[in-house]
Structure formats: structure tokens, C-alpha cells
Structure 1
Amino acid sequence: MNIKILDTTLRDGEQTPGVSLTSLEKLRIATKLDEIGVNFIEAGSAITSEGERQSIKDITQQNFNAEILSFSRPLEMDIDYCLECDVDAVNLVVPTSDLHIFDKLKITKEELLAMSNSAVDYCKDHGLTVELSAEDASRTSIDFLKTVYVNAIEHGADRVCLCDTVGILTPESSFEMFKQLKEDIDVPISCHCHNDFGLAVANTFAALKGGASEFHSTINGIGERAGNTSFEECVVGIYKLFPQFSTDIKIHEIYTISKLVARLTGVYIQPNKAIVGENAFAHESGIHSDGIIKNAATYESITPELVGRKRRFVIGKHMGTHGLDVRLKELGVNVSKNQLKKICDNIKVLADKGKTVTDVDLQAIADNVLEINHKDRIKLNEVTIVSGNKVMPTASVKLTVDGEEVLNAGVGIGPVDAAINAVNSLDIFDDIDFIEYHVDAITGGTDALIDVIIKLQKGDKIISARGTEPDIINASVKAYISGVNRLLSN
């Protein structure tokens, strides 16, 4: 069975506390959603504001393959705003639990049914496709839920959706509810799960097994409270774990859209998140690294390339010589067995002190064992910063590049950004991409030592580097230059 996907990143996902997307950002996400094969895109809630309506209009004007929806309450005013935005369909959300009907709306069940039916009639009279979503359906009696759905279908609803609004379903109860609904409902049934107990993905899988043919999700599982069903986990889970189901998604594009949404929303991905987290395909353990090198299937259920990722071996005290040798070769360093053991022993000493071992640390250790002296092409002589409440942060840097002294300046949104921009304005840095930045205070007090770890990319080469100073700006610039020197030396 082909499972359809309604993506609600632009509506439910944007309800994540602190997230507010511009029209251009919404359009970029919607464009990528359409490109990767999402069937339905909930572009927003037209009733919200004039800016929200403009964002939805910008999306509906693109002639995407995906059906474009707006969220709507069962009110003519809401539906009129949806029509103004020229959407294909509405996600018509009707509260169905006693709690919502009696305490929130303060109406009777009969009045709720009349309101729902009238709204469906109004939508269909104006040419809209209707997906009727029962809000708080998981706390609604199954008999009344069927009544709401059957009424809506009789009035022309095209699809219905069970919303686990507060995330209280379990896989068992989810399966049972959808199984019972499927007995009496003859239109596609969808599920909309929330992750309050960390069960949204499991409940979605159970819903599909129970008879659902569509699910709602958000990229990276963002959303209110603990978030929504994770798009990438469901899509890859269906691909790998449920051969009876399929989707239209281009799976190899999943990591790309995950990073896009993380960057535009500012909701970054926890390292251990399935599929798209930084550590999802990272291996440090010597036993695991050895197995992976011999046959990736030993410790990976899917290949990283499937979702647009790359495998990496993490340098640390658990690393064995096999994984270490692979990483050294990636950095262009070839060693003998005895040299490899010495390097491995030195890494363990450093890691036992609680240090994160970066690629630059690794290369410094390897150079010492191999008795290689690298001459850095770039040296930092001086950094000067001007910053304040009414002053755009400005930095000047004095560098020695290939033996010649260079003075340059830059501005940024903060002093660190300004300093890095000042360095970056030189041609030698043109092909270097700054892809990760992490800061730790490694001692206490206002004079704490700051440990800055960064990740840089040049072409296919990715390298990590460190700078440790009492001053975060100096630490950041030194880490950056250290990493660039290593990239340029390979």
C-alpha cells in the first residue's frame, strides 16, 4: 500500500516555541517538500494574519505537484480566508472530545455535529477538498468519533484524520482505534500524532497497521511541546521495517531537507536523533569500527548514503586501530602498525583527561610520532574588536600568509562572526566552509578557559579543530586558522 504524507512543518511545526518563519523561508521549505515527493503540504493557517496569508499565496502560486492546504476551524470566516489564498484543500479541524466540546467550546454534541457538517458543506460548495481532522480524537469515544466522521463524509469530506492532540495514545491503543474506524469509514483515514510521551512515530506505525493510509508529520519532528511525528523517522522506518507499505519520498534527499529546516527555524537537531542526528552514523567503539569496515551491515541497519549521509569514525578512547587507520588515511596520513599503536595510545591519554580529540589533535599526534614538521601557511598575529550596543561589531586581523603580513577587517552580527569574516575576506579562504561551531567553558569563573571546537569543509574533506583561550574570540579565530592550515596542507 502506498502511504500518503501530509507535511505540517509550516503550520504545526512553526508553532514550536520561538519559531517564526518569513514568507521566503516558508517558500524555500515548501519547494523542497514538493521536490522530495510530499503529497500534501499544510502551508499555514490562513486566519492567523495578513502575513500568513501572503506566505500561503506565495506557495499556492507555484503550481506544485503537492496538494496545498490551510488549517481551518469549522467557521465560514476561516474558510473564506482559505479561499482567498487559493488553496487546494483545507485541514478542517473539529474538536470532538467531551473536554473540548463542553469545556472549551461550551456547546452540545448536537451543535458540534451541526457546526462540522455546515463547515464541510461550505467548503465543498466552494470547490475545496476537505480533510476533516478530529481534534483530541484519542480522548473521544469511538462511537461518537465514527458519528462525526460518517456525518462529514455524507456531506462530502474527502478524507478524515484522527488527531492524538496531547500524545496519549500507545501503539496498542492506536492500532485498535484505527482498526475500529476502518470497519465503518470508506474514505482515506489519516493519523496526526504528538510526541508528549516519545511515542509519536511508534503510534503512527501502529495506525498504519490498523488501517490508516496517510500520516501527518513535521521535518525533524518539530512542533508544540515535545513536537510531532518525525517525518524522516517514519519515511525511513516504512522503507526498512514495513515492506507492505511504501511512500513517494526521495529518501536520499531526507538529510538535505532536515538541515534546511534546522537552519531556517533555528531548532537544531540533537546529536543522537535517529536518521539525521550528527551521531546517527558515527562510530567510536573499536569493535564497532572494525565490524563496519569489514561489513557495514554488522552495526548499521541502513547505509548512511540511503538518506544522503556519510559514515564517520569518531576519534576517542574507545576507538580501535582499524577505525583510526581509516580516519588517518582520510586525512592523507599513512602509518605502520607500530606507529598506529603509538598514535592510538597517545589519543587514549588525551581522551582520558576528558578532552575531545579533534582532527587537528590527531594530526598533531601523528606528526609527532612520524617526526613530521608542518609549516603552517597562515599565522595569526593580532585580533582587534570594536563592539557595543549601538555599534556594529567590527574586527581587524593581522595575519602572516605565506610569509607576507596582511591586515584585513570585517563586520558581523557578533564579535566572533566579525573576526571570522575579517579572516575570510582573503582569497586563500574562498573554498573553506564553516559547518559547525561548539563552545565549552572548561574552567570556572569569569576568567574561564574557553574551548572552541569547529568543523570545516573544503571540497570532500571535512576536518575538526580546536582553540583554547580565556578569550572566546581569540579561541575561535585560532581554531579556525588551525583547521584551515590542516586543510591546506593535505
Structure 2
Amino acid sequence: MERRKIEIMDTTLRDGEQTSGVSFSISEKLTITQLLLEELHVDRVEIASARVSDGEFNAVKSILVWAEENGYADRIEVLSFVDNGISIDWMANSGVKVQNLLTKGSLNHLTHQLKKTPEQHFAEIKHVIELAQSKGIATNVYLEDWSNGMRNSPEYVYQYLDFITKQPVKRILLPDTLGILTPSETAKFLTELVGRYPGVHFDFHAHNDYDLGTANVLEAVKAGVSGLHLTVNGMGERAGNAAMASAVAVINDFAPEVEIAIKESSIYTVSKLVETFSGVRIPSNKPIVGDNVFTQTAGIHADGDNKNNLYFNDLLPERFGRKREYALGKTSGKANIEKNLQELGLKLNDADLKKVTQRVIELGDKKETVTKEDLPYIISDVLDSSLYEEKVVVESYVLMHAMGLRPSATISVKIDGEKFEENAQGDGQFDAFMNALARVYDKKKRSLPKLIDYAVRIAPGSSSDALCETIITWQTDQKKFITRGLDSDQTVCAIKATQKMLNII
């Protein structure tokens, strides 16, 4: 049986940009548009609202120049308004070929916001569509607040649809503007419309105020809609829109009767780029794209994965360009440790593995974040292995910070059994420590790596005496690597992380 094709329209750059504090630059909008169409394979991209600003106009114009050159002009869309042709002129001047005309989909909005009768609104809509036709611009129509319209004024919705389905419009876009629909309502309302207006192209546009966006998308697909509006990372106003990654996974796994063009393996790449450009961090537990969603923490799960993949489901990370990881912490078991050791090319006997496992659990109890890269140090600590012997030890230090004086540090460092003492000043206590350390390494005729990133964090809700973790990224001529230190004092954390670095180099 031939599967029914459903269009995916991405509105990250229009509805998603309405996320509080988000504003994409011209180059960022162009880059995201290119990735959405050429890498992710979305069918259409809504890139802006008409008349917003000069910057928005220039961004749209830049995107349309690229789209014209590459055959995508009819897949680029802009939100427009019933404004007697002002939006039409704006779009014509920027090169836009498709408008998504915002109209009223509920009697409540029409009566209280526009203060007009349905007949007046319809006449104005008809006029705008005719103006668009005269400028070579195709029209899709949004029914703003459609979901409330179906709940509270269905007679008006049907009156509107009887009118608009006789106009030269390509698609009718049905938004759950306030994110109020339940899955059962979504199924009921859309089934009614698809049945009443056969052959009409309906798009469904879900918001996520009750965290039902993905569920509503699935019901919309089953009800027979022809298109869906999604955003990367679920960006959008308030609680955001239905998320691209979740919706695509759900459709592919639970709606075998339909076909979408989205390339699953590109979802994570595009997601991380949008995270970077928008500044909106992806929650670590967000389905498909969150940092932790393909990480097994419990030891029993890692053991089950070793025994016929007992804890796998259809959401295999490889589908989305990712891989499964096994976390190390207080719930780790031997299986977690073994999985991580395998990736490092290390193997321990059962007795040693048991000792290392116990040490990882102890560190997890103290809130320390244990990584795969930490395992050699844990092995060294637990087994006193000469293979991982610490050759550099910061034996003691004195850090001074007094008002009106530059911070200073006096340190004692043992390298291969030889002790060195140095003193230096710096712009802060840790800077003074690093300057003193550099003097030690000058004596050894060796240089230190370049510090390129320094981050400190404590667990959410912790107090001032909590353990903090310092994560330092270092760069040598050969490689970039990260070390971590744990202590209740931030500078001591950094010194512990630095000692790890000294032993790596």
C-alpha cells in the first residue's frame, strides 16, 4: 500500500524566534534555512513575519536570493497580515513567493480584537488574496485561535471554511494558538474537518503549553492532515511548539501509514546548531536531542544491554547521529565500568574491576562527576598501578590575596621525585599559581598547555559550602583535553584539575 505523504513545515525562524530573548542574525537565519532544506529535508520553511523590522527585511531578502539560485523559492514562506496590501508590498520587495496570511479562526478573536463581522473580515481577506495574486505571491491561510474556535464557536469556523475553501489558497493552516487541545479533541476536530472538506490541504500547528504537542501531532496525522508545523528543539512562545525531533520519531515509529521526508540522522546536528545560535540550552533530558537521553546510568541497565540488549527500544541513538553512553556514578555497576573501559581500550580482571567499581560509587556519593576519561586516574588511585603512577604532585601552596596588593602564590611541586619551589604574582590567585608553576616548568625546559576554557559549577539548590567542580579545557600542539577538580573551594578545585593536567602531559 502506498503511504500518504505529509509535508513538514519548519517555523523555527518565525514562531521559534518568538522565544523570549531570541533574535537570529541575518547570517544565522540563512545558515539555518540552508540546513533545514538541504540537510534535514524539511518541505517548507517559515522564515519571518512581514513588516517586523529593517533587519528582518534584509534577512528575508538574503534568504530569497539564495533560494532563487537553488530552486527553493516556493518553499520559503512568510507570515503576513490582513492590512490592505502593506504586507504584500513588503513581501514583493523582498522576493517572497508564498504568504501565510494570519486571519481570525475564532469568533472571540474576531469580535473582541478586530471588532468586525465575519462578512467584513472575509471581504478584507479576499482583497488581500487578490492583491497577492497580482504580485505573483501564493497564499496559505492561518486560522488564528482555531482550536478555541472549534471549542466555542464551531459555526463561525465552518462559515469561514465554507468561504476560504472557495478562494485560491494552497493550504489552510490550523493552529492550536494557545496550546489548549487534548489529543482526543485534536482527533475529533481534525477528523470532522478532513471529512467535511475532502481534498483540502490542512496543516496542523501544535503548541506545547500542556506538554501535549507531540501527542496532538500524532492524532493530527491519524486524522488525515496533509502537513505539520514543527520547530527545532521545540522553540516558540511560552512553552514552545511541537518539537521536530520528537514528532519525527513518533511519526516514523507509530504512523506507518504516512511518509515524511525528514532525514533523521541530521536532526541532532541541526538541533545543536540552533542551540548555539539561539542561546537557548537544550534540557539534558529532552527526548532525542538531550545530552542524557541515550545515557544508561543504572548498572543493571548496562548489564542488560550486554545480555541481548534488554534495555533497548526503537529509539536507537544511531538513527539520530548519536551513540549510547554509560554513565559513571553512585548507581554504576561493573557493567557500566566495563563498557567505558572497552572504549578506552582497557581491561581489568574481576578483582580489580570490583575495586574500581566501588571507588566510582564512592565518588558518586560525594557528588563528583566521573567521566570515562577519569577512569585511568581512578585505576591508579585504587590499584596503585605503576602504569598510571602520578609523576607530578603539587605538595603544598600558599595563596595570598590582600586589598591593594596583587595576588601571589608560593608553591612546592614534586616532579619525578625532584622538588621545586617558586613564587609569583598574578591577576588572581589561580593566575598567580599558574605563573609560579610556569617558572617551575621553565627550569625543566618544558612548556605548559594553553588554558582555553574554565568553568565552575555546583549542583542546583546547593549552598555556599557545597562541593564545586572546576572543568578546565587545555590545548597542546597535539591535542585538546579536559580535566576536572572537586573541592569546596573554587581555587583548590582548579589546582586539583591542573595537577591532573600535569600528569597527562
What TM bracket, shorter-length normalisation?
A: 0.7 to 0.9
Q: Say if 2:348 is the partner of 1:335.
A: yes
Shifted more, 111-120 versus 31-40: the winner is 111-120
Are residues 85 and 355 of structure 1, via their aligned partners in 2, closer, same or farther at CA, if it must alter by over 3 Å?
Answer: same
Report the equivalent of 2:486: 468
Task: Report how far residue 144 of structure 1 moved.
Answer: 2.3
- Asked if structure 1 preserves the Cα contact closer than 8 Å seen for 2:222 and 2:255, the reply is no
Displacement of 1:385: 3.5
Letter of the 1:451 counterpart: E
Structure label with greater radius of gyration = 2
Q: 1:363, CA displacement in angstroms?
A: 2.6
Corresponding residue for 2:135?
Answer: 126
Shift of 1:158: 0.5
Give the deviation of 1:354 after TM superposition: 3.3
Pick aligned residue for 1:177 from 171, 189, 194: 189
1:65-91 deviations in Å (ceiling 9; x for gaps): 540011111221112111211112111
Matched, 1:21 2:24: yes
Matches within 5 A, 1:71-470: 71-75=79-83, 76-140=85-149, 141-185=153-197, 186-296=199-309, 298-372=311-385, 373-375=388-390, 384-385=426-427, 399=438, 403-406=444-447, 422-424=450-452, 439-440=457-458, 444-445=463-464, 450-453=468-471, 465-468=483-486
Separation (CA, whole Å) in 1 of partners of 2:117 and 2:253: 46
Secondary structure at the aligned position of 1:154 is classed as coil
- Separation in structure 1 between the aligned mates of residue 352 and residue 367 of structure 2, nearest angstrom: 24
User: Aligned residue for 1:41?
Assistant: 45
Provide the rounded CA distance (Å) in 2 between the counterparts of 1:455 and 1:211: 51
Mapped to 1, the partners of 2:308 and 2:488 lie a distance apart of 45
Per-residue deviation at 1:110? 1.8
Relative distance call for 1:58 and 1:296 in structure 2 (3 A) is farther
Q: Which residue type is aligned with residue 144 of structure 2?
A: E
Relative to structure 1, the CA distance from residue 407 to residue 375 in structure 2 (aligned partners, 3 Å threshold; closer, same or farther) is: closer
Q: What is aligned with 1:415?
A: none
Residue 51 of structure 1 corresponds to: 55
Per-residue CA shift, 1:436-476, capped at 9, x if unaligned? 9561169744x865322468999xx9986422356657745
Query: How far apart, in 2, do the equivalents of 1:484 and 1:165 lie?
Result: 56
With normalisation by structure 2, the TM-score equals: 0.82
Specify the SS of the correspondent of 2:141.
strand
* Preserved CA contact (<8 Å) 2:368 2:486: no
1:203 Cα deviation from its structure 2 partner: 0.6
Query: For this pair of structures, how many residues does the alignment match?
Result: 456
C-alpha deviation, 1:108, in angstroms: 1.7
Identity %: 34
**1:2-52 CA distance string (max 9 Å, x none):** 211111100111110011111011111111101120111111112100100
Shift of residue 407, structure 1, vs aligned partner: 7.5
Contact 2:367 2:467 in 1 (8 A): no
Could you say what secondary structure the match of 1:298 adopts?
Answer: coil
Q: 2:306 is matched by which residue type in structure 1?
A: I
Task: Specify every segment of 5 or more residues in structure 2 that has no aligned partner in the other structure, as ranges.
Answer: 395-412, 414-421
Deviation track 1:274-299 (CA, whole Å, cap 9, x = no partner) reads 00001110001122111223334633
SS in 2 for 1:176: helix
Instruction: Check whether the contact 1:288–1:299 (CA below 8 A) recurs between aligned residues.
Output: no
1:97–1:328 CA distance, 2 compared to 1 (3 A):
same
Structure-2 separation of matches of 1:245 and 1:40: 18
Q: Aligned in 2, Cα 1:333/1:376: closer, same or farther, shift over 3 Å? A: farther
Q: Spell out, residue by residue over 1:389-434, the C-alpha distance to the aligned partner (whole angstroms, 9 max, x if none).
A: xxxx9x98554669435479xxxxxxxxxxxxx524xxxxxxxxx7
Cα displacement string for residues 123-152 of structure 1 (whole angstroms, at most 9, x for unaligned residues): 222222211110000011333223323322
Distance 1:154 1:378 in 2: 81
8 Å contact 2:329–2:361 — kept in the other structure? yes
Structure 1: which 5+ residue stretches go unaligned?
387-392, 409-421, 425-433
Quote the Cα distance in structure 1 between the aligned partners of 2:234 and 2:125: 29
The change in CA–CA distance for 1:208 and 1:405 in structure 2 (over 3 A counts) is same
Pairing partner for 1:7 from 10, 16, 23? 10
Q: Is the partner of 2:175 in helix, strand or coil? A: strand
Query: Residues of 2 paired with 1:480 and 1:152: CA distance?
Result: 68
Q: Secondary structure at the match of 1:131?
A: strand
- Does structure 2 conserve the Cα–Cα contact (< 8 Å) formed by 1:359 and 1:464? no
What CA distance in whole angstroms lies between the structure 2 residues aligned with 1:448 and 1:339?
Answer: 31
Maintained 8 Å contact 2:107/2:156: no
Q: What is the TM-score when the length of structure 1 is the normalising length?
A: 0.84
AA partner of residue 135 (structure 1): E
Question: Does 4-13 or 236-245 show the bigger shift?
Answer: 236-245
